[in-house]
Amino acid sequence: AVDAVLRLGGSTDLNLIQILKMPGGSLEQSFLDEGFLLKKKIGVGQPREIHNAKIMVANTPMDTDKIKIYGSRVKVDSMDKVAEIEEEEKRKMKAKVEKIKAFGINVFINRQLIYNYPEQLFADAGIMAIEHADFDGVERLACVTGAELVSTFDHPELCTLGTAKCIKEVMIGEERLISFSGVKEGNACTVVLRGASTHVLDEAERSLHDALAVLSQTVRETRVTLGGGCAEMLMAKAVDDIVPQTSGKKSLAVEAFGRALRALPTTIADNGGYDSTELVAELRAEHYKGNSTAGLDMYQGCIGDMNELGIKESFKLKEHVLMAAAEAAEMILRVDDIIKCAPRRRDGGM
């Protein structure tokens, strides 16, 4: 995650980081690929590797070599007429392929299907054709290669093509993928996640996305705080110090705010499977002794020095969490009453 974010060069555009889930293997086999991987296959009889690629990314029907008129019928009185219709459809498809070839491309990526006849025409022209690329993949690929999504082909001068130094087919596990290297957005990359099941991969993807979001903000706002519940305990101690100086009912709210801050170290200890009551009490005592860098060491299940252990968190993230929680609590307190609909009367007087 750190290597992927550092490649962005300070940008927070996470669309340049693709997360690809590949069932099989273990999480330790996950890796970062310096390029873009598309989970599709190259057409039959087409080149498996192309250098200095000129890429067109399109969203256009390439299946009109068959009759497809919804809600209509075509009646003929002989098989010769059927052959004429099929021949006319092929002529139209060939004209469309010729328009695409006029752009001077050697790679054609389509959002929709590419049927056998146009695929054969692309293969004869030495053009790599990739069909049925999912919409998210096409959008990200267009962004990474610098191309624009095309749906009409009458004005080549208005079309922006994508570029890549090399496009080739690679094997990861038991699946074939298409690798794009040397793309226009050189900071783009792909994180390939491996796992034994889809549940493991889904959880790993969520965790990785959270880490990428935090790291991308930390690169721009480099300030950090100590983790392991240390920052929350310091804030709770500061809040507790002003409780005796606060008069009236406000003191109760201030005291409750301090207790809420200590809930996070409690949650950390519970998630680690330790006795949260004992650990949080020890951590609070350490802070009142003046040990302002003390926090929870979840590896040993004890109190440790967060500076020595190198456990730190993003300042911007910590600030956002604190403000969001405070605003949510304030909004709930502002609710005067809750209106409920009367329960629906059932038959039989119940």
Concatenate the DSSP letters of all residues of 114-154 into one string: B-HHHHHHHHHTT-EEE----HHHHHHHHHHHT--EES--S
- Which pLDDT does position 317 carry in this prediction? 83
Q: Rg of the chain over CA atoms, in angstroms?
A: 30
* pLDDT given for residue 65 in this prediction: 47
What is the structure's pLDDT at 347?
A: 67
Contact 168, 148 (CB under 8 A): no
**Burial (Cβ within 10 Å: 0-12, 13-18, ≥19) of residue 16:** buried
User: Which amino acid makes up residue 220?
Assistant: R
pLDDT for residue 10: 67
- Token pair 């100590």 is at which residue? 226
Separation of alpha carbons 265 and 66, rounded Å:
65
Predicted pLDDT at 136: 63
Residue 146 — left, alpha, or beta (φ > 0 → left; ψ -120 to 50 → alpha)? left
Mean pLDDT by 10 residues, the chain (350 residues): 73 76 83 80 82 87 62 74 80 87 87 85 87 72 81 82 86 81 75 86 87 82 86 89 86 88 89 87 88 88 88 86 87 75 67
Amino acid at 191: V
Q: What's the pLDDT score for residue 348?
A: 59
DSSP symbol at 58: E
In what helix (H) or strand (E) does residue 234 lie, and over which residues does it extend? Answer: helix 230-242
**Rounded distance, CA 262 to CA 325, Å?**
13
Would strands 31-33 and 107-110 be described as parallel, antiparallel, or unpaired? unpaired
> Can you say whether the dihedral through the CA atoms of 41, 45, 51, 55 is positive or negative?
negative
